[in-house]
Amino acid sequence: MGLFDSIKKFKKELDKVESTVYSGKQSLIELYELNKQLEAEIALRTKELDTANKQMLTLQHIWDMMNSSKPLSSVLNAIVSSLQGELGYLYSCIAKKITDKDENYLQMLACSGKMFCDIFKNDFNCEPCDMKFRADDIKELFEAIEKNEIYQSNDIETLIKSAVTDTETKNIATILSKSGAQSYILIPLRNNHVHFGSLIVFSSREDATENELKFLKLFSQQIELAITIANLFQAVKEQAITDGMTGLYNRRYFEEFMQKEVIRAKRQNQKFTIIGIDLDHLKKINDIYGHNYGDIAIKTISEVLKNSCRSIDIAARMGGEEFNVLLQGVDSQGGVIFAERIRKAVECIQLDKIGHITASIGVGTFMEHSEEPDELMELVDHAMYESKRSGRNRVTVAKPTSETSWQEVAIETFADILAKHQIPLDKKTYTLLNKKLKEMNINNEMVYQVSDTLVSSYNPEHEKGGTKKKVLLATLLAKRFDLDKESIDKLKIAVLLYDIGNTMLPKEILGKAEPLNEDEINSIKRHPVIAAREILEPISRVNDIIPIIEKHHENWDGSGYPGNYSHENIPIESQIILIVDSYFALMENRPYRSAMSKEEALNIILSESDNKWNSSLANEFVSVINNEDFND
């Protein structure tokens, strides 16, 4: 082979190598470009996944808030904080459309974003949550709210100018440049199909992506659900602690608050005062003008209390026409001043048809009149009724009683009965009662516990706490008929003791599901006599209570037992015991029937008017029940 052929062959091999190298280079370049695209795709997907995770975390916070039973303000603040913190919005807020004197504006309900807040405080000299975005300068935004549409804009200056009208536009632009905000988005919010407010977010991006808008729309729906749930929680909470008619706190809340206040008062060695207020002549108002006007008088008292109390005072409707106010850090002298102010304010009011109304008021102070909350409430109650007996429309200060209390009489009576073994009890019940009697201090709760234990020994269906409810109901009824303190105290003792004769009856009679025979009926009819004469008569301290107990099964029309007494020959205290006992019996399971509902029981009470009890008592009973909650 010649030289030229060798060169040609070499060149051909060289071209082949160059072609291979070039081809490999192109493959490497393509592979590099492909890797570059893949890295960009991975970065984009990672960013999207990170955004999705943050969105899910934000939604999770909203879902958690739905189950937290927190107040609406806390829910709203959590919503805007999560948007600003997790999704990176510069500033977020929830604002509500307000129409005030023909002016429309957005009022802040919650806001979040430290940098934005600092700008408003330092440069605009205002708190961002105090700002009002006025409709005149941002009409398109308000039109979007009316149409329930999402609204986007890059014109942040106009929005801010609508809220800070005293600042020049050029200053607004300069100030906002520090924030980095490029756009804002408004999403209307609805609650039960009614406009509630709008979510507004400020972004560092000029335009929102389609996915971002979809998320904000989804997020707004979750906000709407969270708002609905928060409102429901709030409504339920308010119903649990407030009186439906007046909007004041109810008895339960007042008693719970007072227990906490006792602890605080002892710790800080600081007095507090209880004011008891009772509307005068409510029964007369109801009889003459009707119960609607009685309700108006009750609501009038409540409005006076709302307008007179400090923010730290607790005003409650205790039932019927009775109200209590707890004045923190106030002694009896300050309490009297407050009470006189209430009395005069009530007296000055002129109501349609009724005219002027008045109130009788009692004042008692913790660590001054008593250091026992139950006793203090009793003393205030006594003072209030002393005002009534002294002519009404006056204030009376409580005085520690030197007399033996009704609780002491009841406890000593229980102790005597047990000591003399006057009633048949099983060993377990007997031991438990003796233990309670030996350990107790003289107070309401322990008296009720002893009575509950005794009643449960012959009535398994007896509700725990039922005795307390009976005493409360009987007391409220007695006050409707203007019974004095001594009569009410006798009634309370009688309620504790009236059914004690049942302990002497065979349990097979009390638990029998079939109709009773004549002998069994006669045994039942003898239990008031047994309770009065055989068990209680030997105990001198309760001799004046025996007539009440002996006649507590006498009917208004004379058809009762054991003496067939009728009408005014039956003590009012006995009539009260009969109607209270009948009501609670209707609400309990019996071997021969199931427990009735409140409505069914009240219908039976009314149907027995002028037969078992007089109609006036029945009507007052229903009125008291409807103003109280005895079924908790």
Question: Pairing state of beta strands 359-365 and 103-112?
Answer: unpaired
- Cα–Cα distance for residue pair 624/628, rounded to 1 Å: 6
Question: Pairing state of beta strands 359-365 and 395-397?
Answer: parallel
Q: What is the pLDDT confidence band of residue 502, given thresholds at 50, 70 and 90?
A: low
Q: DSSP of 433-450, one letter per residue?
A: HHHHHHH--S-HHHHHHH
- Cα–Cα distance for residue pair 150/161, rounded to 1 Å: 21
- Cα–Cα distance for residue pair 424/242, rounded to 1 Å: 44
Tokens representing residue 229 in the block:
């749930």
Residue 512 has a pLDDT of 57
Task: Give the phi and the psi of residue 359 in degrees, each rounded to 5.
Answer: -140, 145
Helix (H/G/I), strand (E/B), else coil: 360: strand
Tokens representing residue 45 in the block:
């997907």
- Cα–Cα distance for residue pair 331/144, rounded to 1 Å: 57
Q: What is the pLDDT confidence band of residue 232, given thresholds at 50, 70 and 90?
A: low
- Block residue for tokens 């000591």: 419
Where does residue 179 rank: exposed (0-12), middle (13-18), buried (19+ CB within 10 A)? buried
Task: Give the phi and the psi of residue 465 in degrees, each rounded to 5.
Answer: 85, 0
Task: Please say whether the beta carbons of 185 and 221 come within 8 A.
Answer: no
Task: Please say whether the beta carbons of 316 and 323 come within 8 A.
Answer: yes
Task: Please say whether the beta carbons of 319 and 627 come within 8 A.
Answer: yes
Give residue-wise pLDDT tens across range 421-440.
666 666 776 677 666 666 55
Tokens representing residue 368 in the block:
């001054």
Give residue-wise pLDDT tens across range 101-155.
677 888 887 777 666 667 666 766 666 666 778 888 888 888 888 888 889 888 8
Give residue-wise pLDDT tens across range 578-625.
999 889 888 887 766 788 888 998 999 999 999 999 999 999 999 888
Cβ atoms within 10 Å of 353's Cβ, excluding its own? 10
Tokens representing residue 485 in the block:
């303190």
Averaged confidence pLDDT in the chain: 78
- Block residue for tokens 């209030």: 384
Sign of CA dihedral 563, 566, 570, 576: positive
Looking at domain 406-627, which CATH architecture does it have?
Orthogonal Bundle (1.10)
- Cα–Cα distance for residue pair 397/361, rounded to 1 Å: 9
Comparing 331 with 628, the larger pLDDT belongs to: 331
CATH of region 72-239: 3.30.450.40
- Cα–Cα distance for residue pair 173/421, rounded to 1 Å: 93
CA distances from 4 to 1, 14, 16, 133, 429 (A): 8, 15, 18, 92, 130
- Cα–Cα distance for residue pair 493/548, rounded to 1 Å: 10
Comparing 216 with 255, the larger pLDDT belongs to: 255
Sheet holding 272-279, edge to edge: 314-319, 322-328, 272-279, 359-365, 395-397
Q: What's the half-sphere exposure (Cβ side, CA atoms, 13 Å) at 371?
A: 8
CA distances from 302 to 253, 306, 478 (A): 16, 6, 23
Q: What is the pTM of this model?
A: 0.49
Comparing 473 with 18, the larger pLDDT belongs to: 473
Angle (CA) 265 381 474, round 5°: 125
Task: Please say whether the beta carbons of 321 and 279 come within 8 A.
Answer: yes
Q: Please choose, from the candidates 597, 598, 618, the residue with its C-alpha nearest in 3D space to the C-alpha of residue 607.
A: 618
Task: Please say whether the beta carbons of 595 and 588 come within 8 A.
Answer: yes
Where do you find CATH 1.10.3210.10 in the chain?
406-627
Where do you find CATH 3.30.70.270 in the chain?
251-397
CA distances from 75 to 84, 458, 477, 578 (A): 15, 52, 44, 51
Q: What is the pLDDT confidence band of residue 295, given thresholds at 50, 70 and 90?
A: very high
Give residue-wise pLDDT tens across range 157-191.
888 888 776 655 557 777 777 778 888 888 888 76
Q: For domain 251-397, which CATH number applies: 3.30.70.270, 3.40.50.620, 3.90.190.20, 3.40.120.10?
A: 3.30.70.270
Tokens representing residue 515 in the block:
């109709």
Q: How far is CA 52 from the centre of its chain?
A: 39
DSSP-assigned beta bridge partners for residue 152: 185
Task: Find the largest Cα–Cα distance for the chain.
Answer: 155
DSSP-assigned beta bridge partners for residue 610: none
Q: Please choose, from the candidates 190, 341, 168, 366, the residue with its C-alpha nearest in 3D space to the C-alpha of residue 266.
A: 366
Where do you find CATH 3.30.450.40 in the chain?
72-239
Q: How far is CA 510 from the centre of its chain?
A: 40
- Cα–Cα distance for residue pair 191/93, rounded to 1 Å: 17
- Residues 6 or more apart from 49 whose CB is under 8 A from it? none
Tokens representing residue 277 in the block:
């207020």
Task: Please say whether the beta carbons of 577 and 557 come within 8 A.
Answer: no
Helix (H/G/I), strand (E/B), else coil: 515: coil
Comparing 70 with 342, the larger pLDDT belongs to: 342
Mean pLDDT along residues 300-326: 92
- Cα–Cα distance for residue pair 600/47, rounded to 1 Å: 65
Residue 198 has a pLDDT of 84
